[in-house]
Chain A
Amino acid sequence: MFEATALNRRNDRTQALFRMLFLLMTLVLIVPVLIILTTLIVKGGPVLSVDFLFTSPTDGMTAGGIFPALFGTIWLVAVALLVSVPLGVAAAIYLSEYAPDNWMTRVINLAIINLAGVPSIVHALFGVGAFVIFFGFGTSILSASLTLAIMTLPVVIVASRESLQAVPHAFREACWNMGATRWQTIRKVVLPNAVSGILTGVILEVSRTTGETAPIMFTGAAFFLPFLPQSVFDQTMALSLHLFVVSTQVPGVPEALPYGVALVLIAMVLLMNSVSIAFRMYLRGKKKW
């Protein structure tokens, strides 16, 4: 039999020690956030009701619900998706299926990395300079959604490209050998196998767009509006900005109200992310190759 030497024992101890240390570090990152989330639920929970979701703010935004903000966020996200999903999926198809390995492809990839890395407030400045002023859309849903679409474009591109590239190359070769063109291969073989992966990316993008505040502050979201937007050329309230407004800009807001707004916002975002993650796991489990 093997006898544990002093060296073995020391190694085991070192290993156990570091394992504990790194587990501790992981917990230090996670536990405070869980405590914070619990606080949000405890303090914001009592505010929530059907009325809170479906009525307008009243009494100078110190009472009432969040309906116009919720409604506005849905508008902003929907219009942003109309732009970013077609562009993003097209870009992903190009990069995954057509792009040659040349300087142009390299520049496109760098541009995507930088689009994702530019601070959100700089995106906001761009939105003001380009859409509000230069193209003359004014502060409107259109301007805000275009700004959001460009900012979140990398999310769609990266997720879609990943799911396209996960389709085995042999599938494509088999199809090409039958005489199909590249596009026929993409449409009949690659896309059907990648579409659910692309969908998880789109859900992530919806979640990200919902939470963004800085890019819409000056391009289309208003602190308070007494009416709902009628078209994409109107301004709108938005949930993320509403949280900023009720927690910093309005005097005399009861303490629980902003907690309620924060809770609704975070619940929407985390729910969408969870759906996306669950969907991805389900797909991974189902995959046949």
Chain B
Amino acid sequence: MAENPHSLDDFDRRTPDWYVDRLMQSLVFIGGFSAIVFILGIFLFVAKEGLGFVTTDFDPVEFFTTEYWAPSDEDAPEFGILALIAGTAAVTGLAMLVAIPFALGAAIYIGEFATGKTREFLKVLVELLAAIPSVVWGFIGLSIMNPLIIAVFDVPVGLNVLNAGIILGLMAAPIMTSIAEDALKAVPDRYREAAEAMGATRWQVIVKVVLPAAKNGLLGAVLLGVGRGFGETMAVLMATGHSVNLPTSVFDSVRALTATIAAELGETAVGSEHYGALFTIGIFLFLITFVINMTADLIVRGVRKG
């Protein structure tokens, strides 16, 4: 940041303006500091509500490794989230299989091949696609993809891993494309020029120079896409079929961690075991996305220093 322009004047020029400046500095600092307060607040409040569940005969092994999720059973409620984790993993995994290659391909086309108006147009289009709300994607899964999958694959139900995976892939891809394209743009032009001066074709420049130089930024883009898919709620709630299930094929209906909270929080009593279990899933989601985001940031920052 800039050096303080007042350093010499500080002792003799404490005019009202100086105090106003200090006051404003403190005020805008509150804005910056609020981000820290909020992220800590999110963790603390979600943890606080989940605490009751975690401290009364909570068995983490049972919680994470059994697949029976029957929280509203009056006699013997079961809280095992393995099937929910499997649901989230299956949907996110398939979505990334769809999104990663195509998003990186699109980023390379937009960043390295397309020129002028075409490039501007594609960039705007990608930005607009990234803005479609997740509940609309969920509705698309429900009303357009569902009958399509039933018709094409001749299966009884079209709300399944395949449906949610495609929806989530289409949803995550524009964001990944934008970030990946930024990473390609961050590679200095003189690298490309130097390679071209040596007689390299555009394609050789991309493979041998641009991609290696942008490697970390691209990896960061992929990670952010994974984080986004993992935390997506409305689209997976509406497109997965929402049945607790360890999936064995892409045509199985599953239920995701996020969707479980969204579907069940409304019907639980505050402070009940079920309520606490949902907040415990929330802590789990928070911690996972926290790790993903931190890793992505470290990787991206790694390039800038190098």
Interface residues of A (CB under 8 A from B): 11-12, 14-15, 18-19, 21-26, 28-30, 32-33, 36, 39-40, 86-95, 97-101, 105, 107-108, 110-126, 128-130, 133-134, 150, 153-154, 157, 169, 172, 176-177, 181-184, 186, 207-208, 210-214, 217-218, 240-241, 243-244, 247-248, 255, 258-259, 262, 265-266, 269-270, 273-274, 277
Which B residues between 1 and 50 are near A, CB-CB below 8 angstroms?
Answer: 1-2, 4-6, 17-18, 20-21, 24-25, 27-36, 38-39, 41-42, 45-46, 48-49
Q: Are A243 and B282 touching (Cβ within 8 A)?
A: no
In the complex, what distance in Å separates the CA atom of A15 from the CA atom of B200? 11
> Which residues of B are found within 8 Å of A19, using beta-carbon distances?
109, 113, 203
Q: Are B266 and A217 touching (Cβ within 8 A)?
A: yes
Classify chain B's interface size.
35 or more
Closest to A182 in B: B21
- Is B80 part of the binding interface, using a Cβ–Cβ cutoff of 8 Å? no
Between-chain CB contacts (< 8 Å), 30 pairs: A22-B108, A29-B103, A29-B173, A36-B144, A91-B31, A93-B28, A94-B31, A98-B28, A101-B1, A105-B32, A115-B38, A117-B231, A120-B233, A123-B42, A126-B41, A134-B45, A182-B4, A182-B5, A183-B25, A207-B131, A211-B132, A213-B133, A214-B262, A217-B265, A243-B136, A244-B135, A262-B139, A270-B132, A273-B131, A274-B128
Q: Are A153 and B32 touching (Cβ within 8 A)?
A: no
Q: Which of A28, A87, A134, A247 contacts B102 (CB 8 A)?
A: A28
- The count of A-to-B residue pairs whose CB atoms sit within 8 angstroms is 284
Q: Which of A23, A99, A169, A277 contacts B32 (CB 8 A)?
A: A99
Q: Are B282 and A125 touching (Cβ within 8 A)?
A: yes
In the complex, what distance in Å separates the CA atom of A237 from the CA atom of B134? 18
User: What 7 new A-B contacts, CB under 8 Å, besides A32-B170, A124-B261, A125-B279?
Assistant: A29-B106, A33-B129, A90-B28, A108-B32, A214-B134, A217-B265, A243-B139
Closest to B173 in A: A29
Distance (whole angstroms) from the CB of B306 to the closest CB of chain A: 18
> Which residues of B are found within 8 Å of A277, using beta-carbon distances?
124, 127-128
Interface of A is mostly: helix
Interface residues of B (CB under 8 A from A): 1-2, 4-6, 17-18, 20-21, 24-25, 27-36, 38-39, 41-42, 45-46, 48-49, 101-103, 105-106, 108-110, 113, 122, 124-129, 131-136, 138-140, 142-144, 170, 173-174, 177, 201-204, 206, 224, 227-228, 230-234, 238, 258, 261-262, 265-266, 270, 278-279, 282, 285-286, 289-290, 292-294, 297
In the complex, what distance in Å separates the CA atom of A119 from the CA atom of B31? 22
Q: Say whether, besides A100-B1, A277-B127, A108 and B33 are in contact (CB < 8 Å).
A: yes
The residue in B124, B131, B258 that gathers the most chain A C-beta atoms within 10 A of its C-beta is B131
Q: Are B106 and A94 touching (Cβ within 8 A)?
A: no
